[in-house]
Every structure is written in structure tokens, then in C-alpha cells.
Structure 1
Amino acid sequence: MITLTKSARIQNYKKMIKEGRGTGTGIGREYIPWLKIQDVPSLGRATRLKGIKTGRQHEFLSDMERNYFYVLEYSDNVIDIREQFPLLPLEDTLLIAEELGIEHPKNPENGEVIVMTTDFFITIKKGNEDCYIARTIKATDELLNKRVLEKFEIERVYWLRKGID
């Protein structure tokens, strides 16, 4: 059974929601990433860059994410780029993990479940329509890690259920 009973987890979750993390519309100027560089211990190089399309600061947790951003930034079809996009509500990914028999990602320090994120949630222009795509960036060698693939599967099913490529 899925429960969100720990008050600290709920308070942190509510605090991030109250801060407006993971929200913002339009061309993305108001968007606040769910995760910021200071929130995540990084083994790689983290980068902040001001976007030309969005006019806001973007936060990247790896060189690969930064490089993919450059590709998106210079694509004529891309009209908005939102990084570290949360998979909300949390209950959706908890349910998917349970259905798949996969352990939901947890904070390694305290064992509490965390909100999963997608590296990029992108708005593209197709004719007169805005379409959305979700993309996650990982190094090839990380794809040999069973746990990475399990998390990808939760993420894939989440977006599939939302009708997002």
C-alpha cells in the first residue's frame, strides 16, 4: 500500500510546491526547476546558463545536459525548455513503481521517497500546434546499470500515461 506518512517528507514536498518549483508557463521565463544545482550532490560539473529562448537561468547537473540544451536552444522548432521537470503528483510514480514491482527512488541519506524528475520537458512547434516531449540524458555506461534502467522504466510509463513522447 502506498502512503505518504512522514511529516518531514510532506513538509519538504509542500515547501517546494509553495516555492513554485516545477511550475511556469509561456515561454518559460517563470519556470523554476524542481531540482537546483545546490539541491543535488554532483559527481560531475554543474552549470547555470541564461537561455536565449526563455530569457531565464537554466540549471544543468552534467555536461551532457548542458550540451543537449545547446542543441535545443538552436533548434528552430523548440519554443520552450524546462529542465529538472518533476513527475507529479508523487502518487503517480509511486503507483507505477508498485505496479512494475520496482523500488521507487529514495533519498539515500534518510530513505524517504523522492519526487522523480525528467531532465528536459520541451515544447516544440508543429505547424500551428504546440507539442510536448520529455527527454532524459544519461551516459552510455550508465545504461548498463539495472537500477538506472528501472528508474527509466518508471519515467517512461509516467510519460506514456500522460500521452507525452
Structure 2
Amino acid sequence: MGKKQYWNSEAKNKRWIKEGRGQGTGSNYKPWLTVRDVASEGRSHRVFGHITQRTHHLLSDLELATFLLLQWRSTTTDIREQFPLDRSLTREISKQLGVQHPNHQGLDQYMSSDFVVDSLEKARPRFAIQVKSKEAYSDPRTIEKLEIEKLYWREKGIPFYWVTERQIPSIVFENINLLYNHIEDDDDQDELLIQLEVFSKHMQASDVLRVKDLCMKLDLSYEQEPGEALYQFKRLLAKRYLHFDITKPFVELRCSDITIETVNALKEGWRVSS
């Protein structure tokens, strides 16, 4: 699920704070950590979010699965990933618990929660999430750090949840593997917009058609190699130009199940994430 490791110097902490990392909301939020900052044993992802209109930095497939489920919830209004915790408070909590604060070569590190989510739900207008694989819970040190994080959010009066792959439907991981395996990580925005325009036109005219049947039809119409249209469609889904309920099997999707992102929203997302 990806082992996340990073160490900061105090100079880098100050620079990141000055850059606005961990600050802002919606399209103006800047995550404390980006995919470039963290060495991971798993896949990391840069994914455009249609709720926030910016690119999100997700450090594992499990984080991606959690993000996609959060984004599809009708009550979600904002998602802030890699959210830094107030170090003075985490230090205080560490002392209360009698455990060591995360430290590297004598310098206390900033802790972070994987997600802070704003919601329309009256019972929990805001909640925090830490994502860990189930194997991580066999490590006593991981449990200590999670206890610090849990008490941190309790002090803030904000619900805190631990998420493992056990909370994620298996079909979500199947869809992620289907979309993100063999999809090149490129940023050819002009080409993607052309593909988006082509698929948008045909989907609107064939809303009851299954996606895979539409792709076969387009391969024939445009005299392409078999599977080319399906590859391009998956590419648009992986890049979040198109959206669908990630809990539905991809092979069963019909054109009416797909939500098309607006070009203006995509361009704004590129602007604020650049």
C-alpha cells in the first residue's frame, strides 16, 4: 500500500510554511506533502478533483481509493489531503501519552493526516482520516503515532477515522487497477481535451449504450486498432476528465453513468495546481 517516508529540516519546514503548504481551502489549498516529496513503495497519484477544482496528491492506491469514495459522496464539499498538524500540540500530546514524538536526527517532524474533509452533514461538518494498510497495525510505533493523531483531533472536537483496505469495497481496487495500470502518466492537455470532446459528443448521442460497446463502435468508425478507444476512455477517467461511481464495475458502465467535466473547470484546475 506504499510506505511513506520523508524527513524535513527546520529550514525546509519554514520554507514550506512560507509557500503556503497546509494552508487554504478548496482550489487554494496546498498539501503539506506532494508526490515529489515522499519516497513510496507503492504507486502515487496526481488526480484532478472536480469538487476542489485542483490537483490532489495521493501517496498510495489506498489513498486514491479513499479519495475517490470521498469525492463521490454527495455531502462532501472540500477535501484537503496531506494536512499538517500543529506541532506544538502534537508535542504536548506525546508528552501526555509518554511516547516519543516523530523525530529524525534530533528534530521533531510535523505529523500529517491523510485527509481533512468538509461535509454538509450536520453531525460531522468536518472529519479527519488516516489511511493505513491493515498490516501497519502490527507495528507498535504506528499505533503510538495514531494515538497522538486521534487525541489531536479530539482536542479539536473533530471526528477522526482510521481507514484500511477492509473499509474499501473490492470493486474499487479492481477499477483502480483497471484504470491506472498501463496508463501513461503524461500531461498532454491539448490531446486529452480533443479526446474529451470526441467522447462527449458520442456519449450524449448514445446514453444507454455500454461504454465498452461505444468504444468498439468508435474503433470501427475511426478505423483505429481494436482497443484504442477503450484505452483513451480509461485515460480520461484516470485523469478525472470523466467521472463515475467508483463502486460500480467498469465493464457494466453505460454512457449515462459517466459525468463529463467541463473544459473551464479543467483549465482552472491546471492553473491553480501549476
2:145 corresponds in structure 1 to 151
2:24 corresponds in structure 1 to 24
Q: More helix per residue: 1 or 2?
A: 2
Q: CA deviation at 1:11?
A: 2.3
> Structure 1 residues 130, 140: closer, same or farther in 2, change over 3 A?
closer
Identity %: 40
| Unpaired runs of at least 5, structure 1 | 1-7
With normalisation by structure 2, the TM-score equals: 0.53
Structure 2 residue 96 is matched with structure 1 residue 99: yes
Distance in 1, matches of 2:103 and 2:43, equals 23
Distance in 2, matches of 1:78 and 1:11, equals 35
1:5 corresponds in structure 2 to none
In structure 2, what residue type is equivalent to 1:17? I
Distance in 2, matches of 1:45 and 1:106, equals 25
Q: CA deviation at 1:97?
A: 0.6
Distance in 1, matches of 2:125 and 2:42, equals 31
Structure 2 residue 101 is matched with structure 1 residue 123: no
Distance in 1, matches of 2:21 and 2:92, equals 22
Name the SS for the 2:28 alignment partner: coil
| Unpaired runs of at least 5, structure 2 | 1-7, 160-274
Root-mean-square deviation (CA, aligned residues, Å) is: 1.6
After the TM superposition, which segments of 4 or more aligned residues of structure 1 sit over 6 Å from their partners?
Answer: none
Q: CA deviation at 1:12?
A: 2.0
Q: More strand per residue: 1 or 2?
A: 1
1:3 corresponds in structure 2 to none
Structure 2 residue 39 is matched with structure 1 residue 41: yes
Name the SS for the 1:38 alignment partner: coil
Q: CA deviation at 1:111?
A: 4.1
Distance in 2, matches of 1:80 and 1:52, equals 10
Structure 2 residue 15 is matched with structure 1 residue 15: yes
Distance in 2, matches of 1:57 and 1:115, equals 22
Q: CA deviation at 1:10?
A: 3.3
Q: CA deviation at 1:44?
A: 1.1
**1:74-104 alpha-carbon deviations (Å, 9 max, x no partner):** 000101000000002x111011111111111
Pick from 47, 71, 74 the counterpart of residue 72 of structure 2.
Answer: 74
Distance in 2, matches of 1:10 and 1:49, equals 29
Distance in 2, matches of 1:101 and 1:93, equals 12
Name the SS for the 2:114 alignment partner: strand
Larger Rg: 2
Aligned length: 152
Distance in 2, matches of 1:94 and 1:10, equals 15
Distance in 2, matches of 1:101 and 1:59, equals 33
With normalisation by structure 1, the TM-score equals: 0.87
In structure 2, what residue type is equivalent to 1:79? T
